[in-house]
Chains A and B, each alone.
Chain A
Amino acid sequence: MEFAPKIETVGLNLHYGDFHALQDVNIKIPAQNITAMIGPSGCGKSTLLRCFNRMNDLIEHTRVEGGIIIDEHDILKPEADLISIRRKVGMVFQRPNVFDLSIYNNLRFGLRIHRMLNKRDEVMEAIEHGLEHVGLWQELKDKLKKSALTLTLEQQQRLCIARVLILKPEIILLDEPCSALDPVSTLKIEDLLRVLKHEYTLVIVTHNMQQAARVSDYTGFMYLGKLIEFGNTKQVFTNPMEKLTENYISGRFG
Chain B
Amino acid sequence: MTTARMREKIAFFVLGLITLLVVIPILMIIFYIVKNSIGSISWEFITQSPRNGMKEGGIFPAIVGTIVLIIGTMLFSLPLGVLSAVYLVEYARDNFFTRLIKLSVVNLSGIPSIVYGLFGFTLFVLFLKLGTSILAGSLTLAIMSLPVIITATKEALESVPLSFREISLSLGATKWQTVRYCVLPYAIPGILTGTVLSLSRAAGETAPILFTVAAFYLPRLPRSLFDQVMALPYHLYVISTQVPNIPVSISFATCFVLIGLVFLMNLVSIILRSHYRKKKLW
- Shortest Cβ gap from A93 to chain B (Å): 7
Given contacts A83-B172, A86-B171, A167-B172, contact A101 B166 (CB under 8 A): no
Q: Give A105 to B182 CA distance when docked, in angstroms.
A: 12
**Segment at the B interface, from A24-32, A40-48, A106-114, A214-222:** A106-114
A112: chain B residues within 8 A (beta carbon): 181
Interface of A is mostly: helix
A164 close to chain B: CB less than 8 A: yes
Given contacts A60-B93, A101-B281, A113-B181, contact A86 B163 (CB under 8 A): no
The 4 nearest A-B residue pairs measured at CB: A86-B172, A87-B172, A91-B170, A113-B173
Interface residues on A, range: 20 to 34
As a 0/1 sequence over residues 160 to 182 of chain B, the CB contacts with chain A under 8 angstroms (1 = contact) are: 00111111111111100100011
Q: Give A90 to B171 CA distance when docked, in angstroms.
A: 6
A164: chain B residues within 8 A (beta carbon): 171
On whether the beta carbons of A99 and B182 are closer than 8 Å, the reply is yes
Interface residues on B, range: 20 to 34
A58 close to chain B: CB less than 8 A: yes
A/B interface sample: 24 pairs, CB < 8 A:
A53-B170, A58-B165, A58-B166, A58-B169, A60-B93, A83-B174, A84-B172, A85-B172, A86-B169, A90-B170, A90-B171, A93-B163, A93-B166, A97-B163, A97-B166, A100-B186, A100-B280, A101-B281, A105-B281, A109-B181, A110-B171, A110-B172, A113-B181, A164-B171
Tell me which residues from 93 to 116 in chain B have a Cβ below 8 Å from any Cβ of chain A: 93-94
On whether the beta carbons of B171 and A113 are closer than 8 Å, the reply is yes
- Who on chain B is nearest to A87 by CB? B172
B186: chain A residues within 8 A (beta carbon): 100
A55 close to chain B: CB less than 8 A: yes
Given contact pairs A84-B172, A99-B280, A109-B171, enumerate 11 new A-B contacts (beta carbons under 8 Å): A55-B169, A60-B94, A82-B172, A83-B172, A86-B170, A97-B163, A99-B164, A99-B167, A100-B186, A101-B280, A113-B181
Interface of B is mostly: helix
- Shortest Cβ gap from B126 to chain A (Å): 44
- Who on chain A is nearest to B177 by CB? A113
B167: chain A residues within 8 A (beta carbon): 93, 97, 99
